Amino acid sequence: MPYFQWTGSLVIGIKTIDDQHKQLVEMLNNLNDTMEQSGQCPAPELVDRLKTYAAEHFHVEEGYMQAFAYPEFEAHKKEHEAFCDVVLSLGNSCADGSAHPAELLEFLKSWLTNHILDVDMKMGRFLEDHL
């Protein structure tokens, strides 16, 4: 059983975005496997790779939202920015030993789950009506 199990309830209905979400889940599972094997923080490059991919993905979502004048664009974008800030600081804390690796993984898992199920789902419904 993977650390983060992809389920149909996470599908927002926009294929490009769903595929990227699946990729993020897979990257998180790989990060977890690496951490379980070593018992240590994932290498900063791996955390960085996930953060870079997430930033690219956010850019795609933001492009959709802007293209269709999504009314909750600003608030949604702020969540993306907050995510990048926390991953950066937690990644650093993990690397310098002041945070346990599990904290980073748990943050990623719960943020992704909550973000997809709440704001991304709302955005998906809006886009489906406008695409």
Query: For the window 5-44, what string marks contact with Fe ion as x by the rule CB under 5 A?
Result: ----------------------------------------
Stretch of 7-15, 25-33, 56-64, 97-105 lying at the interface with Fe ion (CB under 5 A): 56-64
User: Residue 102 and residue 41: Cα distance in Å, rounded?
Assistant: 8
Q: How many residues bind Fe ion (CB under 5 A)?
A: 2
Closest CB to Fe ion among residues 32, 120: 120
Answer whether 47's CB lies under 8 Å from 108's CB.
no
Question: Considering beta carbons, is residue 38 or 114 the nearer one to Fe ion?
Answer: 114
- Which amino acid would we find at residue 129? D
Q: How far apart are CA 101 and CA 105, in angstroms?
A: 7
Instruction: Decide if 14 contacts 127 (C-beta within 8 A).
Output: yes
Stretch of residues binding Fe ion (CB under 5 A), selected from 9-17, 25-33, 100-108, 114-122: 114-122
Cα–Cα distance measured from residue 52 to residue 125, given in angstroms and rounded to the nearest whole number? 26
Task: Report how far residue 41's alpha carbon sits from residue 72's, in angstroms, rounded to the nearest whole number.
Answer: 35
Contact between 61 and Fe ion per CB under 5 A? yes
Q: Which stretch binds Fe ion (CB under 5 A): 7-15, 37-45, 54-62, 98-106?
A: 54-62
Q: What is the contact surface with Fe ion in residues (CB under 5 A)?
A: 61, 120
